[in-house]
Amino acid sequence: MADNAKIINQLRALVLLTQTEEQVARTRISQARTEAVRRELTQNADNAAERTQAITDQLRAIGGVPDVVTPAVGRLSAVLKAGFEQAEPLEEALLQDLNLEHQLLDRATYLKVLAEQAELPKVRQLAERLITAHKATVEWLTVVLAEEALGGPAALQATALQRVAGTAARAANAPVRFWANRVNEVVESVHQRREQAGERLNEATDKASSFTDAVRETLTVGRSAALRRAERIARREGNKDAANAAKAAREELGDVSADELPIKGYDSLSTQDAIKAVKELKSAHDVRVIIRYEETHKKRTSIVNAAQTQVAALAKEAVGVDS
């Protein structure tokens, strides 16, 4: 009876966390960089919804009573998480996603052992299914974080507020019971935190606009010309760091000439030859330059997708994940 009670408690917790996982996946869809990633996130969310139902079915099968409040709390947790994320950098949001997946994986592993001891083969099979799913998601998120660490572009894009935020996460990785006890307090603070995030965005823009004449021009019109001018002046004056910073900003905008690309004769290559050349690049920075150039010039989706895949391959290599 004691083991059965433990199993029921774990199934209830898994329903809550899986419901939250689904909602998080749906909020990430709008941040997907490519259509392929968008489809993958949509499928992940749909799979999480199916797992929620499977867990609920097993809970009923062993005599447990599904908690009708749990799904609502899970959805609210995800909504609150999304709100807080607007005041933190993308990597912090992804680390929280990874924390959620690790908790799901650990609970599923614990559930498997409990089910084996209680001789409940269907619960054990469910736990094995959950373990497989969460291992795959942990690996995917690890690679996305590695892509971000390599300079990207990651599979997920930061929102405008996340790009300027510098504060660490404070709430989304809190224990489940914390959320249940603090919902009212958190709801009251969401609006205020969003306003603070907006203020930080304005402050960051103000600081950037006061840096140099060239950067001020960059924030209004003619930013490409201004960056080139800033780069020329910096190189003439021997300020290598400033020149490289201006060049990096141009690369981010896709404002590079063909002879500045890391692939010689790039403009003359066919789509297939360009894809082949991209796959031979070993620097995430070089791949990123190609992506920005394609997005702002030729707009060949197949090359952008191939470049994104190459960034993912480099990220997997960096974290020791088999391709």
Task: Give the model confidence (pLDDT) of 261-287 as tens digits.
Answer: 999 999 999 999 999 999 999 888 888
Helix, coil or strand: residue 115: helix
Residue owning tokens 């004449």: 213
Q: How many residues does the chain have?
A: 323
Q: Which has more pLDDT, 56 or 171?
A: 56
In contact, 261 and 293? CB cutoff 8 Å: yes
pLDDT range class, residue 121, cuts 50, 70, 90? very high
Single-letter residue type at 294: E
* Whole-number pLDDT of residue 193: 53
pLDDT digits (tens, 9 = 90+) for 228-246: 888 888 888 888 888 888 7
> What pLDDT, on the 0 to 100 scale, is given for residue 71?
53
In this model, does residue 52 exceed pLDDT 80? yes
Distance, CA of 110 to CA of 98 (rounded, Å): 18
**77-81, 95-99, 129-133, 223-227 — which is least confidently predicted?**
77-81
Show the DSSP H helices in 86-175 as ranges.
Answer: 90-118, 121-149, 160-164
Q: What is the C-alpha separation between 80 and 183, in angstroms, rounded?
A: 9
Name the amino acid, one letter, at 37: V
CA atoms within 13 A on the CB side of 23: 19
Which amino acid is present at 65? V
Distance in angstroms (rounded) separating the CA atoms of residues 223 and 229: 10
Please give the Cα distance from 201 to 217 (Å, whole number).
18
Most confidently predicted of 48-62, 148-162, 240-254: 48-62
**CATH number for the domain formed by residue range(s) 1-150:** 1.20.1260.10
pLDDT above 90: percentage of residues in the chain: 25
Record the tokens describing residue 319, joined without a space: 């974290």
What is the reported pTM? 0.60
Residues with Cβ within 8 Å of 75's Cβ and at least 6 positions away in sequence, in order, are: 19, 20, 23
Identify the pLDDT of residue 34. 77
What are 163-218's pLDDT values in tens digits?
Answer: 443 333 333 344 444 444 444 444 445 445 555 555 555 555 454 444 444 444 44
Q: Give residue 220's pLDDT.
A: 37
Q: Nearest CA to 193 among 212, 213, 170, 209?
A: 170
Classified as helix, coil or strand, 67 is coil
pLDDT, residue 166, reads 37
Report the interhelical angle of 284-296 vs 240-253 (nearest 10°). 50
126/144 Cα distance (integer angstroms) = 27
Phi, psi dihedral angles at 156 (to 5 degrees): -115, 140
In one-letter notation, the amino acid at residue 202 is N
pLDDT at 20 over 70: yes
Q: What average pLDDT score do residues 63-88 get?
A: 56
For 69, the token pair is 């409040």
Q: Where are the domains of the chain?
A: 1-150, 219-255, 258-322
Q: Is the pLDDT of residue 318 over 90?
A: no
pLDDT of residue 232: 85
Cα gap 244→289, rounded to integer Å: 14
